[in-house]
Amino acid sequence: EVQLVQSGAEVKKPGESLKISCKGSGYSFTSYWIGWVRQMPGKGLEWMGIIYPGDSDTRYSPSFQGQVTISADKSISTAYLQWSSLKASDTAMYYCARALGERFGYWGQGTLVTVSS
């Protein structure tokens, strides 16, 4: 069974750094792209970027380029999304999702990030 299990909710202060994770299981982790999607409170879905764990090829949405870093450790089948300096506007639910071509067929349960002073 394909599963993506994300790390738990985080509460951070503005300016702090953060790295959240997404662990894949039940499939060949290095053979599928993993994307990250933001959902701000009460809002829609926004694609942030995507990584191919097999060779760490990474693509970013222009809206998120330079704002976050996506990485992966294929030895432990885990993808990451990180911030170096959080802002209050980063408060959102973040989902990882496995891409098969043009679609996201499997999703993690989401990680809620709250940034507040």
102 interacts with other proteins by CB under 8 A: yes
Distance CA 105, CA 76 (A): 21
Does position 41 interact with other proteins (CB under 8 A)? The reply is no
40 lies in the site for other proteins, by CB under 8 A? no
- Interface map 43-72 toward other proteins (x if CB under 8 A): -xxxx--x--------x-xxx---------
What secondary structure letter does DSSP report for 87? -
5 binds other proteins (CB under 8 A): no
Rounded Cα distance, 84 and 68, in Å: 8
To other proteins, the closest distance from the beta carbon of 16 in angstroms equals 26
Shortest approach of other proteins to residue 117 CB, angstroms?
A: 27
Token pair in block for residue 15: 């300016």
Q: What DSSP string runs through 42-74?
A: T--EEEEEEEETTTTEEEE-TTTBTTBEEEEEG
Binding residues for other proteins, rule: CB under 8 A, are 35, 37, 44-47, 50, 59, 61-63, 95, 97, 101-105, 107-110
